[in-house]
Amino acid sequence: MKPVRHPRNRQRGSALIEISLSYATLVIVALLSLKASVNATSGQTWTVKQSMSDAYITRETALASRIPYDVLTGASSPWSNYPSVSTSTVTIGKLPGGQLVTATLHRTRIPDANNLSSAGGTGTATSNPSGTEAWKVQSILAYTVGDRQYVKSRTVLRIR
């Protein structure tokens, strides 16, 4: 006599296979979702850092335009007299989570060639009878996003 097989035994084995496949599918979907969220966040970091650097270099432009002329050309000026360059590390903002975003700021001021010698130029009373002074005030901001380095610069012309 043949042993009778019960259909229940087959169902138990197939249920285990279905659960395993469901679990594998769930893990794959979770990994794909994680990868998509990491990709979206890295793109946002680039955009946020670009906005921060734009805001900081705009602030530098405003400062160069508004600083009193005597302070700009004085010995304690934030902008060194060319060829010297003053370099400092600055904080341009914070990322979500409190991570500081830093950059390197380079500043210099370049006298116009027609300035009188007292103002750093080679001009004379004949070439510059009014004694006009002109200075190029440069700010250069260098920062990194990921493994790439970016540089933004602004030059303001100040005339007195």
- Structural domain contains residue 44: no
Which residue from 78, 77, 64, 67 is spatially nearest to 153, judged by alpha carbons?
64
Count of domains forming the chain: 1
Degrees, nearest 5: CA angle 65-66-70: 100
- Give φ, ψ of 87 to 5 degrees: -125, 135
Question: How far is CA 134 from its chain centroid?
Answer: 30
Answer yes or no: are the C-beta atoms of 115 and 133 closer than 8 Å: yes
Q: Is the pTM of this model over 0.85?
A: no
Looking at per-residue confidence, does 39 or 124 come out higher?
124
- Structural domain contains residue 30: no
Q: Look up the domain containing 124 and give its range.
A: 52-159
CA distance 26 to 21: 9
- Residue 70, beta-bridge partner list: none
- Structural domain contains residue 112: yes
pLDDT value of position 2: 62
pLDDT tens sequence across 124-160: 888 878 878 888 999 999 998 878 899 999 999 998 8
- Structural domain contains residue 137: yes
Task: With a cut of 70, say whether residue 79 has pLDDT above it.
Answer: yes
